[in-house]
Chains A and B, each alone.
Chain A
């Protein structure tokens, strides 16, 4: 009997979200974050290498929420876009391999997030979207990569409202414009990826989650799961 309880308790601790079980701890995988203790992050306009011209916007407007929810300060997206345009720095490609101190100076940002959308393909039949996206967070102080993950995501837009009733589904699909659907796809990719981001200063877990597992650096996932 005691054994069963121990097993249950152990599984209770293991039963967290989003961890894809690499065995690598966050304190190892993202050691730079634990050392530098960065607070604020600047979202660089996503680099779109996919064939879908809209993919960039779908991502750009859904990146800040999961990072803020993890406990960081994210430079407000619309204000930062304005400043980046004014400073002729709106093209992220220019900065991928360049020193990033400028963003520390202009925005007070400790980190810059680069997002590279390699693939955004809608299946011609059915309701699947295949996405491949690379996320890289670099320190503006050292230019080191603090966090990077690449995800291949297959998103099935048809199962989106599986928990609501038939009537609700009909209502939702009536207002479910293509754009709404694809914003959801980008949001799901971002939320899934950043679910293993070490907690930031505004999160109660700040500095305490180093011993929890990091997600896989390269992952393939079907969403919603």
Chain B
């Protein structure tokens, strides 16, 4: 009986806010995206590209794939940097992982072609 009580207490402690594993890992995305929005200078672009790569290639979340939008925003910034082919591939990758993105990705691709 005591054992059961102990187990319950342990479970109670474990079941606090800190432990549940997230769907996705984000690295330093928040800070990098703020800096990019605010400055959009060379350093902040480098910083956010680095974060996108980490989120894509070193993803630790329970879903085991990049969160929604990351491939798309990453591809978009690559295109703005003149890396058209790589950028388009990343945009396409978003539509494979998240088919609901196809509507606006197609729109962006059309805008790029213009």
Give residues in A with beta carbon < 8 Å to B. 1, 4-5, 8-9, 11-12, 15-18, 39-40, 57-58, 60-62, 64-65, 68-69, 71-80, 82-83, 86, 106-108, 179-180, 183, 187, 202-203
Give the residue of B15, B37, B102 whose beta carbon is less than 8 angstroms from that of A60.
B37
Q: Which residues of B contact A78 (CB under 8 A)?
A: 33, 36-37, 73, 76-77
Given contacts A65-B26, A69-B22, A79-B104, whether A183 and B68 have CB atoms under 8 Å apart is no
Main secondary structure of the interface of B (DSSP, over half): helix
Inter-chain contact B69/A76, CB cutoff 8 Å? yes
Q: Report B2 CB to chain A, min CB distance, Å.
A: 9
B92 at the interface (CB under 8 A from A): no
Chain B interface residue number, banded: 35 or more
CB distance from B4 to the nearest CB of A (A): 6
Please judge, given known A-B contacts A15-B16, A61-B37, whether A107 and B9 are in contact too, CB under 8 Å: no
Asked if residues B100 and A73 are in contact (CB atoms below 8 Å), the reply is yes
Which residues in B have their C-beta under 8 angstroms from that of A69?
Answer: 22-24
A106 — which chain B residues lie within 8 A by C-beta?
A: 103-104, 107
Q: In the complex the two chains form, is B73's CB within 8 Å of A79's CB? A: yes
> Quick check: is B108 within 8 A (CB to CB) of the other chain?
yes
Whether A80 lies near B104 (C-beta < 8 A) is yes
